[in-house]
Amino acid sequence: MTTNVLILCTHNSARSVLAEGMLNAWASRLGRDVRAFSAGSAPSGRINPFAIEALNNAGIDTDACRSKSWDEFSRDGAPPLSIVITVCDSAASETCPVFFGGTGGQPVKVHWGYPDPSNAAGGEDGQRRAFESTRQALGYRMLQLLALPLDTMDRAALQAALVDIGRS
């Protein structure tokens, strides 16, 4: 069964998109049955061009990237979610809608906060560096997630493992 992961950030234009791209790319390369999605509580309606650039520079196709609301994942017909990860502080403090899990009930939720690379100092060069650093950091955590025995972990073990990854 596919492990569906939803990655949330307020505007769904930078960090959550980087995480979605990295998780899907690594899952595909490693042959893991994991599918990432991203969304926001107040989507901007556009992806930050530096996020697209960072993913493209890493060889990741961004044609399907779009900024979307988390409401898409709480409706009938939405993919059953196993994991929900917030990647920015403002999304972590918001009240999330109800997301539907698979046969195990509600998805496991965890917060892995990152500073907004859009706010990096140093003009465009500083933002490019910040987006690349954020992409690499998120990619590393996504590799750690993919190293977990997702098919055999119970909810408590998965929660603990994801919290540990967030501390790394």
Q: Give the CA distances from residue 15 to residues 19, 69, 95, 151, 158, in Å, rounded to whole numbers and listed in that order.
A: 6, 15, 19, 27, 22
> Can you give the pTM of this predicted structure?
0.92
CA 80 to chain centre: 16
Each residue of 99-135: pLDDT tens digit?
Answer: 555 545 789 999 998 988 998 999 999 999 999 999 9
Predicted confidence band of residue 68 (pLDDT cuts 50, 70, 90): very high
Domain boundaries, the chain: 3-167
Looking at residue 92, its pLDDT comes to 47
pLDDT number for residue 133: 97
Q: How confident is the model at residue 12 (pLDDT cuts 50, 70, 90)?
A: very high
The candidate with the shortest Cα–Cα distance to 128, out of 60, 56, 61, is: 56
Residue 46's pLDDT is what? 95
Q: Provide the mean pLDDT of the chain.
A: 90
**Tell me, what's the pLDDT at 59?**
96
- pLDDT-above-70 percentage for the chain: 90
Fold of the domain spanning 3-167: Rossmann fold (3.40.50)
